[in-house]
Amino acid sequence: MKNKINIFLILLLTLGFSCNDSLEEVNVDPNTFPSAGDPQVLSSAIGFMGYIVETDLNYSESFLWSQYYTWGIGVSIGNEERYVAQPGDYNGYWQRAYANSLTDLNYITKNSNSAAYKGIASVLKAYLFQGLVDHFGDVPYTEALSGAIEDGSNLTPNYDSAETVIYPDLVSLLDTALAELSLANANTVGADDFIFKGDISKWIKFANSLKLRILMRTSEVSPQGPAIQALINSGSFIESEDDMPFIPFSGNSGDQNPMFARAESGVGMFYFASNASLNLLESLSDPRAEVLYTKATSGTFEGSLRGIDQGTIDDEPFTAPASDYSMASEYAYSETKPVILMSPWEVWFLRAEADARYSTSDDAETAFNTAIELNFDYMDVADAATYVTSLDFAGAATLDDQLDLIGIQKWISLNGTQEDEGWIESRRFDRPASRIFTDGIFQTPPSSVLASGTFPSSWLYPESERSFNPNALPQRTITDAIFWDN
């Protein structure tokens, strides 16, 4: 009897262990990974970037402060048009940049075993951090992405100097990216890379082009001539539309351009063409005007381009239909419009400026002409050669004359695709030697809270950051200059 009891107990124990093993196996979902892999994390980071660039940046204050557009009809004039800013206006950009895209990218650079993924993530980290600096100045950087338990649970990061810490380190970060990409195996990255589908040679061009942008940004306050000369001599760059980094959108539900999706979920696109932009285009007989903006389809200006002076919508008849005015075209606003991170015309303008300032191995006039021609081609506008000839870059007698031509044409070419970069570059080219924007092209909105001829030059630190981070810096004003802007 005692033997039977022992055998019964052994059977129960064996059955117990077997049941435990079976339950563990049953509770494992073969279709679910315990943690996300490089492809999933990269696609998440790029997805958030599309929204950040196109909505948080292009379709925000920059949309109006670049003076490509002005407030439209049918609603009370907005704070952005009057240069009234609230800290809460910038919560979304800050949160999505740090907590979403940068956190994902940082995960890859810290944990991936793939040189390709680490290189790509480093390029995009540099891109996002430069954007944060160019809007806010000093921001959290060295301690910014250390909130996870394994990273020290630092939820109150200190701020770093944009000038002495962040910008120099972004150059180093891109050098690290280039080193990783040079070791990357082909076909490592695939469709999860929405930008280049894993084409490493194009990522190298993007990294070099972004490095050139960062080095050139400080030209007015801290020239980087030798570094720029070396980069131009040795690097490959975004040179054509085929090299252009962009995030595509099919236009289908759930896959629409973020600017379009956000606007159409509300009152739609109601902004009008600003005469600051239209007047300049018309004075240059620039055929791109009719691609950037629609023609009025009703009223006394039917069939013509019709904008309004910046911030003067309250002077227009409240009941006038939007069709009486020029608005954003399909080139600038549509469900399938791609989100361009950096255009070839932007890069060629950088190269033209680099040669004008630092005598690189490029030719400034050729680079300048190439930039305009590429922009014309992308917009499907004919006869770029005649337009380029009318600008007479060769006749620009001084460096400042050349910089004025480059700055104005660059601002025009960024309209409709890179509105935020257009605002940033209008600040940089508006320099003590030639205030081409604040004393020339730009118009002071009548209801501006700033003095006549004074325009915003930075964003406020977000309300959420100043509420939760005791190490946040004192609040800035929208007329504070970023370190590279004088």
Are residues 304 and 199 located together in one domain of the fold? Answer: no
CA distance 243 to 205: 8
Return the percentage of the chain with pLDDT > 90, whole number: 85
pLDDT on residue 30: 52
pLDDT on residue 242: 98
Number of domains in the chain: 2
Are residues 294 and 246 located together in one domain of the fold? Answer: no
pLDDT on residue 21: 44
Mean pLDDT computed over 341-347: 98
pLDDT tens digits for 139-196? 999 999 988 888 888 899 999 999 999 999 999 999 999 999 999 988 899 999 999 9
Are residues 462 and 415 located together in one domain of the fold? Answer: yes
Are residues 360 and 220 located together in one domain of the fold? Answer: yes
CA distance 79 to 82: 5
Are residues 313 and 349 located together in one domain of the fold? Answer: no
Mean pLDDT computed over 361-380: 98
pLDDT tens digits for 293-340? 999 999 999 999 999 999 999 999 888 999 999 999 999 999 999 999
Residue 264 included in any domain: no
Residue 435 included in any domain: yes
Q: Residue 266: is it exposed, middle or buried by C-beta count within 10 angstroms (0-12/13-18/19+)?
A: exposed
Are residues 44 and 120 located together in one domain of the fold? Answer: yes
Identity of the residue numbered 365: E
pLDDT on residue 266: 86
Mean pLDDT computed over 211-227: 98
Residue 13 included in any domain: no
CA distance 144 to 128: 13
pLDDT on residue 34: 56
Mean pLDDT computed over 104-123: 97
Q: Which of the residue ranges 25-29, 60-64, 175-179 would you say has the lowest mean pLDDT?
A: 25-29
Are residues 315 and 204 located together in one domain of the fold? Answer: no
Are residues 126 and 54 located together in one domain of the fold? Answer: yes
Mean pLDDT of the chain: 92
Mean pLDDT computed over 54-83: 90
Return the percentage of the chain with pLDDT > 70, whole number: 92
Residue 448's H or E segment, with its range, is none
Q: Is the pLDDT of residue 438 over 50?
A: yes
CA distance 235 to 237: 6
Name the phi and psi angles at 159, rounded to 5.
-95, 150
Q: Is the pLDDT of residue 3 over 70?
A: no
Name the phi and psi angles at 359, rounded to 5.
55, 65
Residue 147 included in any domain: yes
- Binned at pLDDT 50, 70 and 90, residue 285 comes out as very high
Q: DSSP assignment of 370-425, as one string? A: HHHHHHHHHHT-S-HHHHHHHH-GGG--SHHHHHHHHHHHHHHHTTTT-HHHHHHH
pLDDT on residue 13: 36
pLDDT on residue 182: 96
pLDDT on residue 442: 98
Are residues 89 and 201 located together in one domain of the fold? Answer: yes
| Structural domain boundaries enclosing 281 | 269-324
Residue 27 included in any domain: no
Are residues 75 and 101 located together in one domain of the fold? Answer: yes
CA distance 330 to 292: 8
Residue 301 included in any domain: yes
pLDDT on residue 8: 37
pLDDT on residue 291: 98
Residue 114 included in any domain: yes
Q: Which residues contact 56 (CB under 8 A, 6 or more apart)?
A: 92, 93, 96, 97
pLDDT on residue 11: 35
Are residues 178 and 71 located together in one domain of the fold? Answer: yes
Mean pLDDT computed over 20-48: 70
Q: Is the pLDDT of residue 66 over 50?
A: yes
pLDDT on residue 78: 85
pLDDT tens digits for 252-269? 999 999 999 999 998 888
Intra-chain end-to-end CA distance of the chain, in Å: 98
pLDDT on residue 31: 54
pLDDT on residue 390: 98
Instruction: Quote helix, strand, coil % in the chain, to nearest 5.
Output: 55, 5, 40
CATH number of the domain at 119, please: 1.25.40.390
Q: Which of the residue ranges 318-322, 431-435, 480-484 would you say has the lowest mean pLDDT?
A: 318-322
Residue 315 included in any domain: yes
Are residues 308 and 435 located together in one domain of the fold? Answer: no
CA distance 126 to 223: 20
pLDDT on residue 77: 76
